[in-house]
Amino acid sequence: MLDLMKRNSVDLLVDQFWKNGYLTISRKFGIYLPEPQRMGGFDVDIIARYKKDYAIGITLNEEDMENPELKEKIKFLATRQTKFTNKRVILFIGISHDLRKKIELIINTLDENVKKNIKIQSINSDISLSANTKKKSTFLN
């Protein structure tokens, strides 16, 4: 069940990337795309690209919020740069609406240059599951 919720969260974050114009290069739980490699020992859910700009996506749940290394993970991933051009890589954090305040408190303790590179995306997995079920049932009729 936890794996299904994580998969749904990644799917919702991919939707947010698409809405922002990004093309997904690699993602977890993908059928056709490869799984992203670990960065600095941290798991990454999505790597995407918009023209020559790159972005990293992670999804967080209640369990991840309790991890003492979360602040270091966010700081490390938000300070990544491209290999040859040294352009900043944006970090998208997908999180449920009820955990948004907690993540904002953690991000507010970071350096100003790091904060500029982070975008918080609210994802609501419960609504999407029921919406997907409704779409499938109307499609089959």
Q: Are 95 and 103 in contact (CB under 8 A)?
A: yes
Task: Name the residue with tokens 């982070």.
Answer: 118
Average of per-residue pLDDT across 93-116: 89
What's the pTM? 0.80
Confidence of residue 54 (pLDDT cuts 50, 70, 90): very high
The DSSP bridge pattern shows strands 90-95 and 118-122 to be parallel
Task: Name the residue with tokens 């947010």.
Answer: 16
Instruction: Give domain limits for the chain.
Output: 2-132
User: Which three-class secondary structure state does DSSP give residue 5?
Assistant: helix
Q: Are 14 and 5 in contact (CB under 8 A)?
A: no
Q: Does domain 2-132 have CATH number 3.30.1450?
A: no
pLDDT of 131 strictly over 70? no
Q: Are 46 and 27 in contact (CB under 8 A)?
A: yes
Q: What is the pLDDT of residues 11-50, one digit of tens each?
A: 888 998 999 899 999 988 888 888 888 888 888 999 999 9
Confidence of residue 125 (pLDDT cuts 50, 70, 90): low
pLDDT of 128 strictly over 50? no
Q: What is the pLDDT of residues 66-103, one digit of tens each?
A: 888 888 999 999 998 888 888 899 999 999 888 888 88
